[in-house]
Amino acid sequence: MPYIPVPLKETLSISSLVTVHYYEYGSNFHYSGESHDFWEFLCVDKGEVEVFAGERFYTLSRGDIIFHKPNEFHGLNANHRIAPNLVVVAFCCTSPAMDFFRERILVIDDYERDLLARMISEARHCFLDPLDDPYLTRMRLRPDAPLGSLQILQSTLCLLLLSLLRRYQKETTVQKEKDTIRRKKDDEAYHRIVACMGQHLHEHLSLSQLSRETLMGRSQLQKLVKKRHDCGVIDLFLQQKTEAAREMIRENRMNFTEISQALGYSSIHYFSRQFKKITGMTPSEYSSSIKGLTEENSPSIKGLTEENSSDFLSDEKSSEAAHTFRPRSCRGIS
């Protein structure tokens, strides 16, 4: 059976190194900035440094690594307190995988720190020029550079980038999975809340009772409802009652008093007031609007004539409600 070779696909292809530096700056060092058409990263080995990239400003500490995309203007300042040691590597790479590093600040682990140390050590054996000259634009090869030193530098840099890519993409995937699980749990909890409210539309429902029946804490209930509806738990319950009332009015099988009683309101006046707070209309106005949309001469709701309707509305304006509901600025629930 013949052997079948496996083509080697490169995720990252680094065509050339521009500079490899290890700086030990004083606490007052300032570099006004530059831009160039290749990639560059800066990693803090010791201390702290202030970095700007485009219009963004960062303070980096030990282990932080920032990537500057091609043509991004960037510079740095020591913070006048702690003298920083920095690794700065510039290189050319046009692989699409490099898009991951755009405007990224990551944190290296021990393995990646060891790879950086190998790069610095190999660069010292490979290049004539010192690694601490910030104004160096061309690195000259040693005539006696160890065999394969440039390839080792290239391979080590690839390993570093691939390690960061693999580790952070894995963490992103894990976080997405956690977010999906959390959303699923939130959805299930929310449906329990809504279902419980639906079972108690005919009566009063307190936050404590809802908490017990849904097996959820009061703060969890409030947080979940606030996130979904931007209002309080009891406010949502009153909205559900009002929606049930609207449905009953459209069905035209009960008068307003019967609807009020069916939904557990203490009085028809309180029911009407709550209905108007949420819908902007009294029950009779809502009923009229429904009739206008269906047929002009449909029968009026049982038990309410035009004559006593006006008396009822006038009664509403004079009675005091037990409490009010503000749909646009939901109050907290104690």
Residue 312: the pLDDT is 32
21 and 114 part of one domain: yes
Confidence label for 294 from pLDDT (cuts 50, 70 and 90): low
Is residue 298 predicted with pLDDT exceeding 90? no
Task: Look at residue 323 and tell me if it is in a domain.
Answer: no
Distance CA 217, CA 137 (A): 63
26 and 120 part of one domain: yes
212 and 302 part of one domain: no
Domain of 79, in residue numbers: 14-172
Task: Look at residue 4 and tell me if it is in a domain.
Answer: no
Task: Look at residue 5 and tell me if it is in a domain.
Answer: no
Taking alpha carbons only, the member of 182, 192, 232 closest to residue 212 is 192
Cα end-to-end distance, the chain, whole Å:
77
Task: Look at residue 334 and tell me if it is in a domain.
Answer: no
Q: pTM of the full predicted structure?
A: 0.56
Taking alpha carbons only, the member of 100, 38, 33 closest to residue 69 is 38
Residue 89: the pLDDT is 97
111 and 255 part of one domain: no
Q: What percent of the chain has pLDDT over 90?
A: 49
Residue 178: the pLDDT is 67
Is residue 87 predicted with pLDDT exceeding 90? yes
Is residue 307 predicted with pLDDT exceeding 70? no
Position of tokens 């409210």? Answer: 197
Average pLDDT, the chain: 83
Total of domains in the chain: 3
Distance CA 222, CA 211 (A): 10
Task: Look at residue 333 and tell me if it is in a domain.
Answer: no
